[in-house]
Chain A
Amino acid sequence: MPKFGSKSRERLDTCHPDLQTLFNAVIEEVDCSVTCGYRNKADQDKAFASGNSKAVYPKGKHNSRPSTAVDVYPYPVDFDDLPRFHYFGGWVLAKAEILRNVGEITHKIKWGGMWRGLDNGKIDFSYNRRRGVLDDLPHFELIPND
Chain B
Amino acid sequence: MTLEEIDKRLQEIPAVLDQIRSEQNQLLGYKQALLDMEDEKIIKDEPKDNGKIKKEKMSA
A83 contacts the other chain (CB 8 A):
yes
Q: How large is the interface on B (under 10, 10 to 19, 20 to 34, 35 or more residues)?
A: 10 to 19
Most chain B CB inside 10 Å of its own CB: which residue of A89, A125, A126: A125
Number of A residues whose C-beta is below 8 Å from B? 21
A43 → chain B, closest Cβ, in Å? Answer: 29
Q: Which of chain B's residues have a CB closer than 8 A to the CB of A89? A: 26, 29
Q: How far is the CB of B23 from chain A (nearest CB, A)?
A: 5
Q: CB of A98 within 8 A of chain B?
A: yes
For residues 56 through 104 of chain A, which have their beta carbon under 8 Å from a beta carbon of chain B? Answer: 82-84, 86-95, 98
Decide yes or no whether B42 CB sits under 8 A from chain A: no
Contacting pair B28 A126 (CB below 8 A): no
